[in-house]
Structure 1
Amino acid sequence: MCAFALRDMKSVDESAAAPGPRTASRALLAEIAADATPTRAYSPIVLSGLVRLLELTIIIVSGFGVHHLHVAPTWGYSAEYFIVIPGMALLAVVALQALELYTTQALRAPIGHGVRLVCGWTSVFLAALAAIFFLKLDGALSRVWLAGWYATGLGLIAAERFAVAALVRALTQQGRLDRRTVIVGGGPAAEPVLRDLAAAQQDSDLRILGIFDDRSDSRSPDVVAGYPKLGGVNDLVEFARHTRLDLVIFTLPISAEGRLLQMLRKLWVLPVDIRLAAHTNKLRFRPRSYSYIGNVPVLDVFDKPIADWDVLIKTAFDKIVGALCLVLLAPVMAAVAIAVKLDSRGPVLFKQDRYGFNNEKIEVYKFRSMYVDQLDHTAAKQVTRGDPRVTRVGRFIRKTSLDELPQLFNVVLKGNLSLVGPRPHAVHARAAERLYDEVVDGYFARHRVKPGLTGWAQINGWRGETDTPEKIQKRVECDLYYIENWSILLDIYILALTPLALVKAENAY
C-alpha cells in the first residue's frame, strides 16, 4: 500500500528539483548494470514454497512406501494409515517451517541446520508416539512401521536437502536469487542503514549495488560506508531500465517530505519495491507497522505489482490458456491470413516495435492491415476513419481486432506479452501530436507489468484512436487500476468480456 497519495506526488513542482549530479560516468553505470543482470532471476519465496511441496511429497511417499513393504503384505491397507500419513507429513512441514528451515540461508547450508532438521523431524514422531499411547491406538498402527518411516523419511529429506543446497548455491553464484538493492539518499543518514544492511547481506540474498542522491555538496560524499554514489534519481530511473532492480530504500527522514515526494514522483513508475528506512525517523509507529530487512525497520511505500507466486500463476495461465486459444482460433487465423494475402500484395504478418515490461522494446506480430507501401512501423500517424492506407480486409480485421490474433505467438512462444494487461503502445504513438508520455503524467507506470492482448481499458470502451489527450488519459487510468487490483479472477473476467467489448466498439478503424 502506498504511504503517500499519488495526487500529492503529482502536485510537486518538478522544476524545483535540483539537477542530478553526475558523480559516476555513464560507462560505469552501464558496466554495473551489465554485471548485475542475470539471464533470469528466481523468487526465493517461490523456491522455498516449491521445496515445501517437494518435502511434503517425499514424506507422504516414504510413509506409504514403508507401509507397502512392511504392513500391507500381512495386514493389507487400513484406513488409519491414509489419515495418519498425510496428517503427519503436513505436521512435519509445519514444524520445519516453525524452525525457519525453509529460508534461503537454511536451504543453502544443510549441514549447519542439520541439528534443527533432526529435532523438528523427531518431534513429529514423538508427538505421534504420544498420541498412540494416550489414544490407545497400539493395535491400529505398527510401531515398527513408524520407526521404519522415521529412518527412511529422514534419510530421504537429508539427501534432498543436499541436492537442493547444490542448486541454491549455483543459483546464488549466478546472481539469480539476489535481491538487488540501491539506496536513495547519502551522507550521515545513510551510513547506519548501510552498515546494518551490509551485515544483513551475509545472511540474506540482499545485494547493495550503490547509492543515488541528487545532492552534490559535502552532505553527500562520493562514498558512504564503502558504497559508491552512482548518480542522481534521474540516473536511477535510467539504471533500472537497463538492469533488474528489486528494491529501493530511502534513507531520508519523513520530515523531508518535499524531497521525498519529488523523488517518489520519478521512481513510482518502476516495477520495484520501495521502502523508507525508519532509522532516522523520530516518529515511532507500532511494531506491526514496520517490515524488516535484516535488522533494519522499514516502512512500505510501494510494492512491486504481480510478484513471486502471482508471477508463476499468471505465467501458467497465459501459457495454458494462450495455447488453447491458438489451437481453437487456428482456423480463424488461417482464414484471415488467406484473406490478407488475396486482398493485397505483401506479407501476411506485420511486425512493430512496442513498449513492453519496464519500457523494454519488444516486437509484436499483427496481421497486415495496410497496403505494403504505406506501412507505418513507428505509428507516427494514427489510423483514422476511412484512412486510405488501410486495405478492405484491413478495415474489417482492425474493427474486430482479428489483426491482433498473431500476438498469441508473443504470449505463448516469446513470453513478452500476457493475455491480459495494458495494451502495448507503439514507441512513437501520439495523442494530439504529442507523445503519450508528454500527455499523461506517470505514463510509464503502466509498464510495471507485462502488456497484454486485452485489458481493463479495452472492455471499458477505451480502445482505438487516441486523437485527444483525454482518451489516452482515460486509457492509462484504466491500466493503473488494473495493475493495482490485479487478480487471476480479474484476468478471467476481462477475457470473458472482451468479445462483447469488440462487438460494441465504435472507435476502432
Structure 2
Amino acid sequence: MPGVAEPDMALDIAAPTEPLPGATDEPGHLFPPRPRLAVRALALILQDAIVTVCMAAFCYGLFNPLHGVRVPSAIVAMACLILCTILSFFERGLYTAEAVMSRQLHARKLVLAWVQAVATGTLLTFCLASAANDVGLPALSGMIAMLAGPFVPTLLAAGIFPLLAARLLRIRAHGGPATLNRTVIIGEHDCVHDLLMRIGTGHQRAFDIIGVVEHGAAGTQACKARRSFRGLPAFSGIDALERMIRQDAVDTVLVALPWAAGDTAQAIVRRISLAPIDVYIYAGMKSLDMPLHRTGAPFDLPLLMACNRPINGWRGSLKRAEDIVLSLGLLTFISPVMLAIAIGVKSTSKGPVFFRQRRVGYNNHVIEVLKFRSMYTHLSDADARQQAFRGDKRVTPLGAWLRRTSLDELPQLINVLKGDMSLVGPRPHALATTAGGLALEEAVPIYSSRHRVKPGITGWAQVNGHRGALDSVEKIVHRVNHDLYYIENWSLGLDIKILWQTVRLVFADDNAF
C-alpha cells in the first residue's frame, strides 16, 4: 500500500490485562465454538430456494401438458421466481439476524412474502414473455397462457405449506441456544438476577446467556468467592468483559444496573462501544444521557439499544458472498498478470516474491497481509516506524511502479478468500504506524471503531483522495471520518461504486507512491 513501510515484525497493540482463570492465548477459549450466523442465514436462503424450485417444478409438470411450454422457458420463469422469492423474503425481514436466531415461525410474514414473491415473479416473467413475442422469439410465448390460467393460484397455495414445514423442521433442528446471540450480562446483582428471570421465563429466548459480569465492589467480592451466578460462569470487572469481547466470544452485552446508576451505565457503554457487538440497556435505566433506540420483536424484553454491530445479519452474508464471488473471479481473470509481476519481482531484486505484513484487522485482531514485495529486503523498516515517501530509496524500480498503480496489493485477494479482509473496507494499518508522531489511537480516540468491520483492499477514504503517508493528525482524522461514513452507510451499491472508482484511480492517482 502506498505510504506504508513494509515491516516484518509486530508490536502488541492490546493493553496488557490480567488473564482470566484458565485463559490461553487463543481467541474464544472461554466458551465452546459457536456456529456462524452468516452460515445459518445462507443455509436458510438455500433452503427457501430449493423449496421454491421444487414447487415451481411440480406446478410446471401439472399444467405444462395443457400449454406445451418448453423447458428453457420454464427455467427462465423459475429463475425469476427464485430471485423474487429471495428479494421478497429479504424485504420482509425473514433473513435478519433476529429471524435467523428466532424460535418463532413468523408465519404471517412468510405468507405475505410468498404472495409478494409469486406476484412479482409472475409479473416479471409475463414482461419477459411479452418482450420475447414482440421481437419474434417464441421461446416464452407459451408462458403467457400458462400464467393466465390456474398455474399461479396453485403455486400460491401449494408453496405455502412446504415453506412453513421446512422452517418448522429447521427450528426443531437448530432453534436451540446454539443459534442465538452469545450474550453476557453486566451489572449489579439484583438487576442481573431480575433480567435473568425475565429471559428464562419468556416464551422465547432471543439470547444465549453465556456468562455474567458483576459490576461494583460488592459484586466483585461475591463473584470472586463463588465464580458462578445461577449456574452461569461469573466474572468480575469490565476488564474481564473486554477480554471476552476481544476473543470474539461475545455477540451481545446487556447492561443491567439500578435507575440511579446512569453515569456508570454510560461509562460501560462508552468503554465497549468501539467493539463489533450489540449493546442493550435494560429498560430500568432511564437516567441516561445518550441516544437509545427501542428494540422490537422477537426480543420481547424491555431493552433499549445503545449501539449495534454494523453490516450484520443478512447484510453481512451478502457482503461476504460479494467478496467470495468477486475475488474468485478477479483471481481467475488476473492470474496471468500476477504471474508476470511475480517473475518481475523475483528477477529484479533478491528476496521473496511476497511480503507478509502484520496489520490490525477486525476487532483489533492482528492479521497477516500479503503484498508483492516492493522494497529491497535489507532496507525494509522492521517496525514500520518510517513510512514510505516519494523518492524513497528503499523502494525498487519495479516496486515504485507497483506501488504507484497499487498492483502490489493484488495478493490481498487471497486474504479476502481466507476471510481476514474484505474487498472494500477501512484500509488496515501496520502495527507501529503513527500520524504526526502520535500513535493512531492517541491521534484519534475513536480510531478503533473502524475495526468493527473487516479491513478492505480499497475503501471510501482511498477513492476520495486520502492515501499516501500519514504525516499529520489531520490526515488520519479525515481517513477515520470517511471509514466511519462507509461503515454506517454500507450498501452493495456503495461497494460497487468504490470498486469502480478504484479501477479508475489505478493509473491516475498522484497520492500513490
TM-score (norm 2): 0.72
Letter in 1 for 2:186: V
Shift of 1:403: 1.0
SS of equivalent to 2:368? strand
- 1:4 alignment counterpart: none
Check whether the contact 1:369–1:393 (CA below 8 A) recurs between aligned residues.
yes
- Aligned equivalents of 2:255, 2:483: Cα separation in 1: 27
- Aligned equivalents of 1:422, 1:482: Cα separation in 2: 8
Check whether the contact 2:27–2:246 (CA below 8 A) recurs between aligned residues.
no
- Aligned equivalents of 1:370, 1:21: Cα separation in 2: 36
- Which one of the candidate residues 262, 267, 274 is aligned to 2:279? 274
What CA deviation, in whole Å up to 9, does each residue of 1:221-254 have, x standing for no partner? 4255554431322322221111332111111356
- Aligned equivalents of 2:168, 2:484: Cα separation in 1: 44
- Which one of the candidate residues 383, 386, 407 is aligned to 1:381? 386
Check whether the contact 1:305–1:448 (CA below 8 A) recurs between aligned residues.
yes
- Aligned equivalents of 2:56, 2:27: Cα separation in 1: 49
Shift of 1:323: 2.5
Which runs of structure 2 are paired with 1:308-347 in the superposition (5 Å)? 308-347=313-352
SS of equivalent to 2:309? coil
Letter in 2 for 1:37: P
Shift of 1:465: 0.9
Shift of 1:362: 1.6
- 2:124 alignment counterpart: none
Residue 235 (1) aligns with residue 235 (2): no
- 2:103 alignment counterpart: 105
| Number of equivalences | 439
SS of equivalent to 1:276? strand
- Aligned equivalents of 2:498, 2:255: Cα separation in 1: 36
- Aligned equivalents of 1:335, 1:102: Cα separation in 2: 45
- Which one of the candidate residues 57, 63, 68 is aligned to 1:61? 57
Counting aligned pairs with the same residue, the percent is: 34
Check whether the contact 1:24–1:229 (CA below 8 A) recurs between aligned residues.
no
Residue 480 (1) aligns with residue 484 (2): yes
Check whether the contact 2:358–2:431 (CA below 8 A) recurs between aligned residues.
yes
- Aligned equivalents of 2:35, 2:478: Cα separation in 1: 36
SS of equivalent to 2:174? helix
Larger Rg computed on CA atoms: 1
Check whether the contact 1:46–1:308 (CA below 8 A) recurs between aligned residues.
no
- Aligned equivalents of 1:487, 1:385: Cα separation in 2: 35
Shift of 1:63: 2.6
Shift of 1:423: 0.6
Letter in 1 for 2:487: I
* Residues 493, 62 of structure 1: alpha-carbon distance in 2 compared, 3 angstrom cutoff: same
Residue 184 (1) aligns with residue 186 (2): yes
- Aligned equivalents of 1:452, 1:25: Cα separation in 2: 35
* Residues 44, 199 of structure 1: alpha-carbon distance in 2 compared, 3 angstrom cutoff: farther
- 1:442 alignment counterpart: 446
- Aligned equivalents of 2:183, 2:192: Cα separation in 1: 14
What CA deviation, in whole Å up to 9, does each residue of 1:401-437 have, x standing for no partner? 11111112222x3232111100111122222343322
Letter in 2 for 1:105: R
Letter in 1 for 2:502: T
- 1:196 alignment counterpart: 198
SS of equivalent to 1:105? coil
- Which one of the candidate residues 420, 424, 433 is aligned to 1:420? 424
Check whether the contact 1:213–1:220 (CA below 8 A) recurs between aligned residues.
no
- Which one of the candidate residues 429, 434, 443 is aligned to 1:430? 434
- Aligned equivalents of 1:35, 1:153: Cα separation in 2: 40
Shift of 1:370: 1.0
Shift of 1:380: 3.3
* Residues 494, 30 of structure 1: alpha-carbon distance in 2 compared, 3 angstrom cutoff: closer
* Residues 300, 237 of structure 1: alpha-carbon distance in 2 compared, 3 angstrom cutoff: same
- Which one of the candidate residues 450, 465, 468 is aligned to 2:469? 465
- 1:17 alignment counterpart: none
Residue 209 (1) aligns with residue 207 (2): no
Check whether the contact 2:421–2:454 (CA below 8 A) recurs between aligned residues.
yes
What CA deviation, in whole Å up to 9, does each residue of 1:276-329 have, x standing for no partner? 11145489xxxx944356431211221210111111211222222223322333
What CA deviation, in whole Å up to 9, does each residue of 1:413-463 have, x standing for no partner? 323211110011112222234332232202211111111111011112221
RMSD: 4.3
Letter in 2 for 1:313: L
Letter in 2 for 1:60: A
- Aligned equivalents of 1:188, 1:448: Cα separation in 2: 32
* Residues 34, 153 of structure 1: alpha-carbon distance in 2 compared, 3 angstrom cutoff: same
Structure 2 gaps of 5+ residues are 1-15, 71-76, 116-147
Shift of 1:367: 0.7
- 2:34 alignment counterpart: 38
Point out which structure has higher relative CO (alpha carbons under 8 A, 6+ apart). Answer: 2
SS of equivalent to 1:491? helix
* Residues 98, 304 of structure 1: alpha-carbon distance in 2 compared, 3 angstrom cutoff: closer
Residue 352 (1) aligns with residue 342 (2): no
Check whether the contact 2:51–2:162 (CA below 8 A) recurs between aligned residues.
no
Check whether the contact 1:355–1:362 (CA below 8 A) recurs between aligned residues.
yes
- Aligned equivalents of 1:352, 1:35: Cα separation in 2: 30
- 1:168 alignment counterpart: 174
Shift of 1:389: 1.8
Residue 27 (1) aligns with residue 31 (2): no
- Aligned equivalents of 1:167, 1:298: Cα separation in 2: 28
- Which one of the candidate residues 371, 394, 398 is aligned to 1:393? 398
* Residues 141, 182 of structure 1: alpha-carbon distance in 2 compared, 3 angstrom cutoff: same
- 1:297 alignment counterpart: 302
- Aligned equivalents of 2:216, 2:383: Cα separation in 1: 38
SS of equivalent to 1:291? coil
- 1:404 alignment counterpart: 409
Structure 1 window deviating more from structure 2 (449-458 vs 400-409): it is: 400-409
Letter in 1 for 2:196: L
Shift of 1:155: 8.7
* Residues 292, 345 of structure 1: alpha-carbon distance in 2 compared, 3 angstrom cutoff: same
- Aligned equivalents of 1:370, 1:31: Cα separation in 2: 33
Check whether the contact 1:269–1:448 (CA below 8 A) recurs between aligned residues.
yes
Structure 1 window deviating more from structure 2 (35-44 vs 270-279): it is: 35-44
Structure 1 gaps of 5+ residues are 1-19, 108-112, 125-139
- 1:8 alignment counterpart: none
SS of equivalent to 2:355? strand
SS of equivalent to 1:27? coil
Letter in 2 for 1:217: A
